Structure 1
Amino acid sequence: MTHLLPKKIAELAERVVAENRAAGRKVVVAESCTGGLVAAALTEVAGSSAVFERGFVTYSNDAKVEMLGVSKDIIDAFGAVSVACVYAMAQGALARSKADVAVAISGIAGPDGGSEEKPVGTVVFARMVRGSDKPEAEHKVFAEKTRDGVRLQATLSALELLLP
């Protein structure tokens, strides 16, 4: 099979689909800095329709508010690249889907847009499982600072969070 994405991402996506299919789980993604790469990786896998319920690419703050119901107050207080924002993105994705697990991603892919507090390569993730009151979050600052590098590393991290 020829993959459009790097081999490591394609292999992990195949594993995510296989393991979630075996677990009887559907997944939803809410992406910002990855711009749909997680959804693309999953849907490249034959049979992914048994697992991939839907994806939201909410690149702008307005899209996060309109499509996922993220409170503008959260974005104003903490920024789009914050644990609070990705929690709200994951909650919104679950509420607007029939999926069992959601992963949300927001970050600064660069080359511009970073700050001392949130440098280029900063990416936050949230994972929520329907019915659980224990959301998980990760905050990473990737060493790779190229736009492609940040986006690909974030895609790998998001796929790992989708494993059962």
Structure 2
Amino acid sequence: PEIRLQLGQLIQKFKSLRIDAVRWVAVENIHLTLKFLGDTNRTDLDKLSKILLSRSGEFSPFTFQVSGMGAFPNNRKPRVVWVGLQAPAALHELQGAVENAASQIGIPVEERGFSPHLTLGRVRNDVTPADLQTLSSALTSMQASDLGFMVAASFTLFRSDLRPQGALYTPLAHFPLAGSDK
């Protein structure tokens, strides 16, 4: 909860810049994506859920630090504004297991390396050069050095429906890690 509060305050600082071409994520929707599946049919989702449930018990809960801020592809040409995660090996191993499970049902393996982050906002294509400069400067000057630690005790398979007011996330399946009751 404390980290979500800080993320909300950080988003409010960005919103105060009044850059209309950035769609900021609602704080309650901020999440870590282990694997984006794209359009996937219900049968494949059921298969994936069974695989993930059988594998989730192989992983123990772990702690990670929410720290740092930046943009993809970079701060000068931001398309996605994010805060970073100082991810332990356990997070990378869990992501690898999810990636492997998805590949078993025919979802292509992600070519880019896993870059753990929490998306705060997405820059639309119609951003003006002046707003781009303002955002770039803010990314350089604002600090998000250490927002605290979080414990990962489970992960969830979500359906994402894109809407004009932002994405709607519907949980489809929940996977507790070993020894966790979450």
Give the TM-score of the pair, scaled to structure 2. 0.23
Higher helix share: 1
Q: Which has the higher contact order (CA 8 A, sep 6+)?
A: 2
